Structure 1
């Protein structure tokens, strides 16, 4: 077989990449084996990587303002609230208080806890204050002489009523208290980022599991716990990944009827994932809670290209009959189109770098590295390896194309390339665009649910959040406005009165529960110094009296040199609408009343950071759409040298993006850190289908075939592989809907939609557009079936090159 004229012709016509690869097959296999072993070792050392700072837009004015005053702010947002609740009775018993103290001590020694800021009822700085005839009296809520007796407990009850902690640290029903746990995002001594997974596990083991019993329940909320729970769900993510892999393998076997053709593309795709993880570790990156799904996306892209290679080899074995020749011809036919598709994928993913949120940038890098790995494993290694093992005769026979038998399904679908159907298809696509655009207008930026939307509503975290929200008067969603003044001016009457006016203004904004600032403390102090008479709950115009009132303001509300006052705004929730309403109100007040002496700066606190993130995403969403389509369009144009190719390939992708946004709005999935990359990822996955279909269609058109016949031949070769890939990946990913992590379930819905609809767009809309736009050069006609006695599509498949 090696001495056939076809073999020599194929060898002589080979381009440099093909000659280098297939003339050195043993060397190629050895190099791939060594690289895989090395990168697998690197991947083994890959660690979870989660950082609070990576989730926020560092270049946003809100965050820059927060960072500028970080030394004067008590919390950066990376903190926990641990509620210790009693089921029977109340907190006024020695057993409960002893347990509370033990839990606080246990938390104190957990690595990552900011020990200086840890606060519970046992903390000496949790104090009560009262006014007597002799002046102020104050002391710790739990007095030093506490001995657990009934008298001590009654004293504690009295102290709590004087402390102002009820509703904040103590539940309204006196059945639970909160331990405030500030957390270091980065170790101040070593500079290493906190391992949120280990931290979350320590909180579960040392606190919840150790102290929760029939009468004590523990409730833990805060950013570190959200990230910890997401990382804890990696096991579920891997479980569903295995399910997806098994489903894909079964469907691939049904498609090929060859165990070699089933396992080899799966193995090379898994190898691409191993390369990706190893390279990320070499580059100093890790996997965070949001990029953990990227390896499975890379697996899907790898399978997509692997199926095309297997399909090409099977067709060429039918025509040439020799596995080495079949592998070479399949490589020759696919490597340019495949490279174009994969480079488009990679560059499209890299557009995520324009978003000033580090976790999204790392996601884009991870996806691009994975795509680069696929270029080697699936476009180079796979055909080389298949040149040794080939496809079984049963598999070749199952995938062969019978030129004398018209496939019913492909004959029906080929009508999409006729005038009447093409016109209707374009009309339907226009209606689809309208539905997508109109439906997408309701797409919200940010979270649409209370608690942690990345987790299920019935998850332990969201149940804990609901418990704390229901039992405490103060919200866990806090926006901190930083009021900048000249040094020693924040207690001046004109400044303090303006801040007091701002308090009143914000308290009347929808979505705001309450507002606390240093002027509230000053008014209460003024009242206390005047025998507790409510008439004196004012800001005195006497500066000396005002300065005396300011002496009792805690440092959390005013810095030492009185150049910064903070206003804590407690919100009903952190939904996108609530955050935008409050931010707009602050900006209006600053515009109307701000001056050279007083600047109301946004924003710190967890709600302030989320508001900044939402604003960044609102801008980035449009930028990403424009940039990814521009870049992918440019690459398609460079590959095919045709504006028509750009239109035919990108218009179906655009329809998918528009409908996906409408679907997200319908399902109540907002655009946020976790979902924004879906836009780029969806385009990256879908462009492969269009490039393969268009490449094959134009090839047959240049052979002189009419449009419908050319599209039928395209469907018989490349089209069926595209259809299989879309269906197989969609069926595999849809299982994610059952994941306990809502983030993965949402991604399962969106990825299933994109896999299937990108496939439908490539098979249905692309030929309709091509019917009206493509004008093949009929001077290049050759090998029309009518002139060659029905030459097979498999033989044609050995010669295809991109336009």
Structure 2
């Protein structure tokens, strides 16, 4: 069976080399087509792709976001350095901004709220009854008396004081929401920045400072930095060229691997265009990581080809050397591709469209390595000439040889290899324990996508310092009957939920219909605070709400209740959306709902707004993280078991995978990098990434044991051959990805460091840990019976 498989593989390899012109023409033509398609791939963020549509929270959000507020709300704060905002010039700028926001693409004009809008009302009693009128609309007060009256009205209005005018009167807030189906992050970002930029220029003399936050602005910044991201990508490729040229000292060792990476990228992006997928800016790091794998596989083949060429000093035998290299490395190369692809595709089970698209594109990208590196690279090498001289005088070969010699020495010495395995066990135990500190969701205040000192995060800090919080979550009180919200017991239950949640330090404030009714009743009683309470019956509360509605504009109550008063929103304002903050809030709402059910058989529905949908994403990520990692490990075990026909092989190759991942997760926990929608695909791909190098080392040992029975010699030869490719790849890729640390996007910088860590740890495992394990444990699938040979005794351990 094994002999037949080996013969078929040999026939395929021989065919590829014999028909190399046809193979090259076919692959070249397909690459040209895919490259043309790839040029049209759209790079953008689609908000609907970020949400798990089937999650109950997202369904509640989608059902009620039109009235209670979407997750795309933008908050704009006008802040003065001296005095307060109650000045004609500042109020005039607030009025102009509120009016100009109506021209922004996709804006919901009925969801623009500020002191200068019609939405904030003043309720007062007069001889004619109850008067309800806007606090400051349509004009700014014309004199000092009018401004003083406005100040007093704001102080007596809980809907404005503290919520839209800061308690120290030094800042005013404008919130604006959008129709999700019309939302274009790029357009909103540019138009809002233009408006606020003009405002700051006009208000520079008055000491006005503007701060802006919101998801459209955040992803607008990501799009704003896209040219920089592409520049860093090109710089990284340039660094790869220089490092490969420095280490390999040949154009062949430099350009052939880069060609393999370029072909993989063209095929994958062209395939994405064919199936109608776009590329999210935040997953460009994943694209580079997979391209790095193509380069890595190709470097292994070039290294093996050079060795085959060096064995015979006679006339060049490029075609024979390419055939030998392809045949020798086909199995570990394909095993690495299958393992990487299998570990990537399992992410598709996470019910978030963005992750599913990343899984499909990533799997296609990894699969192309089977063509670009495993097949195309040896075909290109079959035309290579024997290298005559190095292209530069710097020779790092002796240094690499010393590193590989150290690896061999550590494996041969009994105490040294025992020390290596003991240290590995200790590092694993320590990193595993620390890895449990990894947060699911955002781990820091502000946005983890941008640096803490970025303009966006500074704006978020300023707004949260002045106001209850820029991030919102609404919980729906579903009474199940018309006018159910008018029931005094229901309103009291809503108020109880607000008091309970306000005790959480991360919750800055809350608002609901239970805040509106007492305000109207107090006004009827000449403003006496003792009457700030609910009506004694649903009918009385209905009359109070009728008085409020009769003087209001259509839709003014949509933020608090639907038109039938059957469903109402309790909105909470958060100072951050860290994973722990969100989990605590959701659990507290569930606790209150369980202990204080809504009267009349109603229920609380979680949850909408930005914090609500983030809660859904975090719950999916938590389940998806465990599921994806478990399935990726299972795929890896099955691939190894089938390939080596040994269940032990599957467990044996788990060691570098588990070690590289626990160390990486520990680093994420240490640096405050949360497991979120952007990091999950990289974590799953890291399962395959952690074992690729080990495949080449182990298969090199097995191949050597076909030729002789000396295990120590087999390990030494495998390290000097396959180990050189591992070392070259690890050094070049690790050094080049460090350039991502200069990105203005914190996420990309941190992912660059994570890639470097993954590559470094997996290379160390392949060079030090795996040979030591082979020498100590002598697994049968490696040393027991090499393919095509009868079992042969090996020397006893030293």
**Structure 2 matches for 1:152-171, cutoff 5 A?**
153-154=147-148, 156-163=150-157, 164-171=159-166
Provide the C-alpha distance between the structure 2 equivalents of 1:779 and 1:49, rounded to a whole number of angstroms: 51
Contact 1:513 1:571 in 2 (8 A): yes
3-state secondary structure, aligned to 2:123 = strand
Correspondent of 1:737 among 730, 734, 741: 741
Deviation at 1:747, TM superposition (A): 0.7
Instruction: Give the match for residue 197 of structure 1.
Output: 186
1:713 is aligned to 2:717 = yes
Equivalent position SS for 2:604: strand
* Match for residue 568 of structure 2 among 562, 565, 590: 565
The residue that corresponds to 1:141 in the other structure is: 135
Distance 1:493 1:142, change over 3 A: closer
Q: Trace 1:208-247 onto structure 2 (pairs within 5 A).
A: 208=197, 212-213=201-202, 214-215=204-205, 216-247=208-239
Question: Where do residues 786-801 of structure 1 align in structure 2 (5 Å cutoff)?
Answer: none
CA offset digits 1:689-711 (Å, max 9, x no partner): 11111111112123333222111
Q: Distance in 1 between matches of 2:391 and 2:637?
A: 36
Q: Which residue of 1 aligns with 2:577?
A: 574
Deviation at 1:299, TM superposition (A): 2.0
> Quick one: distance in 1 between partners of 2:150 and 2:504?
36
The CA distance in 1 between the partners of 2:523 and 2:307, in whole Å, is 91
How far does residue 527 in structure 1 lie from its aligned partner after superposition? 2.0
1:117 alignment partner, SS class: strand
TM-superposed deviation, 1:780: 7.1
- Contact kept, 8 Å, 1:443 with 1:671, in 2: the verdict is yes
Kindly state the Cα deviation for residue 172 of structure 1 after the two structures are TM-superposed.
Answer: 3.5
Matched with 1:768 is 772
Match of 1:517 among 507, 512, 525: 512
| Cα shift readout 1:487-509 (whole Å, capped 9, x = no counterpart) | 22122233222222222222223
Counterpart-to-counterpart distance in 2, 1:239 and 1:507 = 46
Q: Are residue 279 (structure 1) and residue 271 (structure 2) matched?
A: yes
1:337 maps to which residue? Answer: 332
Determine the structure 1 residue equivalent to 2:794: none
Aligned with 2:540 (options 545, 548, 551): 545
Q: 1:114 to 1:41 in 2, by over 3 A?
A: farther
Q: d(CA) in 1 for partners of 2:450 and 2:395? A: 47
Residue 23 of structure 1 and its aligned partner are, at CA, apart by 3.1
Assess if the C-alpha contact under 8 Å between 1:55 and 1:359 holds in 2. yes
Partner of 1:190: none
Q: 1:184 to 1:46 in 2, by over 3 A?
A: farther
Distance 1:31 1:96, change over 3 A: farther
Match of 1:316 among 308, 313, 320: 308
2:623 alignment counterpart: 619
Distance 2:218 2:653 in 1: 40
Which segment drifts farther, 323-332 or 197-206?
197-206
Return the match for 1:651 from 648, 655, 680: 655
Aligned residue for 1:786? none
Say whether 1:40 aligns with 2:35: yes
* 1:8 corresponding residue in structure 2: none
Relative to structure 1, the CA distance from residue 146 to residue 245 in structure 2 (aligned partners, 3 Å threshold; closer, same or farther) is closer
* Residue 793 of structure 2: aligned partner: none
1:84 maps onto 2:89 in alignment: no
The answer to whether the Cα contact below 8 Å between 1:318 and 1:396 also exists between their aligned partners in 2 is no
CA deviation map 1:256-295 (0-9, x unaligned):
2112321221122123222222221222111213212222
Question: Structure 1's 767 and 558: CA in aligned 2 closer, same or farther, altered over 3 A?
Answer: same
Provide the C-alpha distance between the structure 1 equivalents of 2:786 and 2:51, rounded to a whole number of angstroms: 58
> Which residue in the other structure is 2:553 paired with?
none
Q: CA deviation at 1:162?
A: 4.7
1:675-686 equivalences in 2 (<5 Å) = 675-686=679-690
Q: Contact conserved, 1:347 with 1:631, CA < 8 A, in 2? A: yes
1:451 paired residue number: 446
Which residue in the other structure is 1:701 paired with?
705
The reply to whether residue 60 of structure 1 matches residue 49 of structure 2 is: no
Counterpart CA distance in 2 for 1:548 and 1:616 is 44
User: Following the alignment from structure 1 to structure 2, what is the Cα–Cα distance between the partners of residues 493 and 748?
Assistant: 56
CA separation of 1:281 and 1:142: change in aligned 2, threshold 3 A? same
Q: Could you tell me whether the CA contact under 8 Å between 2:241 and 2:254 is conserved in 1? A: yes
Task: Give the 3 Å change call, closer, same or farther, for CA 209–330 of structure 1 in structure 2.
Answer: farther
Q: Is the 8 A contact 1:129 1:162 kept in 2?
A: no
The secondary structure found in structure 2 opposite 1:453 is coil
Matches within 5 A, 1:162-181: 162-163=156-157, 164-181=159-176
**More divergent stretch after superposition (592-601 vs 456-465):** 592-601
**Number of the residue aligned with 1:795:** none
Identify the residue that residue 110 of structure 1 maps to in structure 2: 104
Deviation at 1:720, TM superposition (A): 0.9
- Alpha-carbon distance in 2 for matches of 1:450, 1:48: 27
CA RMSD of aligned residues (A): 2.9
Name the counterpart of 1:797.
none
> Which whole-Å CA distance do the structure 1 matches of 2:269 and 2:126 have between them?
67
User: C-alpha distance in 1, partners of 2:485/2:231?
Assistant: 56
- Contact 1:42-1:277 within 8 A present in 2 as well: yes
Separation of aligned partners in 1, 2:394 and 2:641: 32
Separation of aligned partners in 2, 1:27 and 1:522: 81
In structure 1, distance between residues paired with 2:174 and 2:786: 81
Kept after mapping to 1: 8 A contact 2:471/2:573: yes
Equivalent residue in structure 2 for 1:610, among 614, 632, 641? 614
State the TM-score, normalizing by the size of structure 2. 0.89
1:462 partner SS: helix
Q: Matches of 2:652 and 2:386 in 1, distance apart?
A: 34
Q: 1:81 deviation in Å?
A: 1.2
Matched, 1:500 2:495: yes
Q: Answer whether contact 1:39 1:274 (CA < 8 A) is retained.
A: yes
Q: How big is the shift at 1:485?
A: 0.8
Q: Is the deviation greater in 647-656 or in 209-218?
A: 209-218
- 1:791 is matched with none
Cα deviations by residue, 1:348-397 (Å, 9 ceiling, x for unpaired): 11111111222222222222121122221222222212222345233699
CA distance in 2, matches of 1:37, 1:496: 66
8 Å CA contact 1:493, 1:543 repeated in 2: yes
Deviation per CA, 1:521-557, whole angstroms, max 9, x where unpaired?
1222222222222222222333321222333372211
Alpha-carbon distance in structure 1 between the residues aligned to 2:575 and 2:396: 64
The offset of 1:621, in angstroms, is 1.7
- The C-alpha deviation readout for 1:154-174, integer Å capped at 9, x for no partner, is 554455445442322233444
Alpha carbons 1:445, 1:614 under 8 Å: kept: yes
* Correspondences of 1:663-682 after superposition (within 5 Å): 663-682=667-686
2:430 counterpart SS class: helix
Taking structure 1 as the reference length, the TM-score comes to 0.89
Deviates more, 1:455-464 or 1:609-618: 609-618
Note if 1:587 corresponds to 2:590. Answer: yes
- Check conservation: 1:645, 1:694, Cα contact below 8 A: no
